[in-house]
Amino acid sequence: MTRSQKTNGPKMSDASLHASTLREDEASFGDYFALLKPRVMSLVVFTALVGLLAAPVAVHPVIGFCAILFIAIGGGASGALNMWWDADIDKVMKRTKGRPIPAGKVEAGEALSLGLALSGMSVVMLALATNLLAGAFLAFTIFFYVVVYTMWLKRATPQNIVIGGAAGAFPPVIGWIAATGTMSVEPWLMFALTFVWTPPHFWALALFMRNDYDDAGVPMLTVTHGRRATRVHILVYTILLAILAVGTAFSGVGGPVYLAVSLVLNALFLHGAWKIWRRDEDDSEADNFKVERSFFKLSLLYLFLHFGAILTEALLKPFGLGGW
Amino acid sequence: MSFKPQHELHQRRFGRNMGVGLSLAGFVVLVLALTIVKVTSDDFKLPKIQTLEQN
């Protein structure tokens, strides 16, 4: 006897028609929201906001709010499409097996529908709220993350993170275009900052989440080229990142505050990368990857504070203080 | 005639339905606000066809 029959008796009732839909582990609103990868979305919101506010054009607060919201929804939609496609490997990896699809809360098809619907809605609404170029860039970003990164590169090449990182780097560019309707060098410097930051951030994660990517068969650098090569790559990318990040201080979005923040953060980040490079697996296992874990945590702070410094420079400009 | 007690299904899905309802209501308010901002801005111009009809 089904639950509905216990409740309403054996006769045919409205509820018994829906008996097949009754599930104890039924998804809540929060489970559908989790499909949008809220933590990634918070990075998208913040960097897009910085791009929007650093642009040399004043935006009406309502239009600015709409722009950020639809960029965030577009980013979330691509997260849902990513979870739909990657459901098979998400259930293998410790880090991702609690996600709504592998946890059995949401069907993969539901994630696909939600992702497609929100993608279309966010692109159209961003284009209507701001301009066509911003809408087109958001559409391209979703395409890049879902098709180029998730469907193609992620399982095909150890450079997946390097090229796929571009998808996460687009939001400040979209924010800037939403404000200005045009492109210039500054948003691309913000793009480059996130783009070059992504590989060392994820490779540090791959070093201490060692079995996850192996078990899922994702060709991370740690799996294809070995852990020693990954440590070398982290150092090389961190050096490139430091040059780029400090150089950005002398652009239109930089200034003394940004320069000071960037110098301190890059010194710390380079020191962390150098320590990772010097270590071998025995050292790391002895302290349960303490250095790699702290480098990963620092990387989160690194990006947040760099964009925070760009935002500070932009907010100081009306008072005649920001920039050079 | 009496009201039937609310089925357990609706009780269980209350949170989800409320979330969807509030999201849609928020979207409607947002579109309204956006429309007001757009049509009251200095840059706003009526489409050409409507302008010709008015003339």
For residue A3, the chain B residues in CB contact (below 8 A) are 8
The CA distance from B15 to A249, in Å, is 47
The tokens of B51 are what? 């302008």
pLDDT digits (tens, 9 = 90+) for A266-294: 999 999 999 999 998 888 888 889 999 99
What is the distance in angstroms between the Cα of A37 and the nearest Cα belonging to chain B?
17
Residues A116 and A77: their CA atoms lie apart, in Å, by 7
For the record, the structure tokens of A95 come out as: 């880090």
Tens of pLDDT, residues A216-255: 778 888 888 888 999 999 999 999 999 999 999 999 999 9
Cβ <8 Å between A28 and B7: no
pLDDT per residue as tens, chain B (55 positions): 667 777 777 777 888 899 999 999 999 999 999 999 999 988 888 777 766 666 5
Q: What is the dihedral of CA A13, B18, A106, A218, to 10 degrees?
A: 180
ipTM of model over 0.95: no
B34: which chain A residues are within 8 Å (Cβ-Cβ)?
Answer: 62-63, 66, 128-129
Model pTM score: 0.85
Q: Taking CB atoms and an 8 Å limit, are B18 and A22 in contact across chains? A: no
Alpha-carbon B14 to chain mean position: 20
